[in-house]
Structure 1
Amino acid sequence: MQIHLKKPLCPWLPEVHSREKPWKNRPKQVEKDAAFYLAALQFAQFQWLEGKPAQAILQLNKSWMADEPDPQFQPPYQALVWIMENSKRGESGFMGNPVRHFQHLASRMSGPRAEVRSWRAWVCFHLASKWLDHGYPRDGIQLAREGLWIPSWERSLWELRKSGWPAEYCYAEKAMHTSVNYRANESMSH
């Protein structure tokens, strides 16, 4: 059964074909393998279609916890940009403030593979800063109170290149420099 679509599918995420949440009948995922990655991307699409862009972004965060991605689906940097671009006017549901969210996520990361996940969050912070307007500010209080240093885009990308998934940095760089509406017959696996 196809979900009744009130909005377009995010072209950078896998389709979902059921009204059930993709993780509803799935046992608790301990392994952060390709199946975990794919399930997080499917749930992000599900949340987007349900009118919950903030929840979709949280599922993208979850996908970046995977030890390995599903080779059929690229790292979801362009999905993130697409969701932000299609949500920033508030017509697609509550998105929150991705700039502030990624600032907090990057600076407070813990758990397995925290360093690379922090660099991914800094990359997302820079994507959000570029693609969203000044209505989505940084957390100035955290910057002042903690003396937080925000690494440059170039440094974040370099660290991702060193410790991320193979060619992951290429997808992040492409998301920074490509219009979100560009999809011209591009395969999801590129």
Structure 2
Amino acid sequence: MRTLTTAAAIALGLAAGSAPQSATAQSQRLETAVFAGGCFWSEEKAFDGLPGVRSAVSGFVGGHTANPSYEQVVGGGTGHMEAVRVTFDPRVVSYRALVDRYWRTIDPTDPNGQFCDRGPSYRTAVFATAAQRAEAVASRDAAMRTLRRSFTTPVVGAQRFWSAGAEHQDYARRHRAHYEAYRIGCRRTERLRAIWGDAAVG
């Protein structure tokens, strides 16, 4: 009985020790993609809930001020753009598929903002790692061929991403009425459909 208890304890200890390793291994298989696409509420909504997407976080990227506030970014001077960081499982959804979707959430021919959101913080860009760059550029070239128009949205190197405050996360779901009023007021859906037709997202 004593031997059995000891063996059981060892087995339980091994099982307990293997769980964190499994979780760590799983997290190491996840990747991230960062897109600036105008209003981060809309970009987050466009990716959140997709098969293979573990999270979509609203935030800021591309600036020179550490941990900026929303007010600082939209007020100008920090150099940041509103963006979304998408954490995904590449075994379920590829980076290329996410970039292909991204183009169809924006007007990639507008260098000065998106729809009713104007100014530097609402510019668009794909922030790609060295490993992601070729796929991002290939996706951009394919999307340009589809539209037969030149894009002003660049593919640039990865930069530090800062999460926005909790009040901005999952905004479209938590404040549905306000978000819908914003979307309709900006004529977002109509303008995206005018560019992308039935392939438009949002």
TM-score class normalised by the smaller sequence:
0.3 to 0.5
Looking at CA atoms only, which structure, 1 or 2, has the larger radius of gyration?
A: 2
Larger strand fraction of residues: 2
Q: Greater RCO between the two (CA within 8 Å, min separation 6)?
A: 2
TM-score by length of 1: 0.32
TM-score by length of 2: 0.31
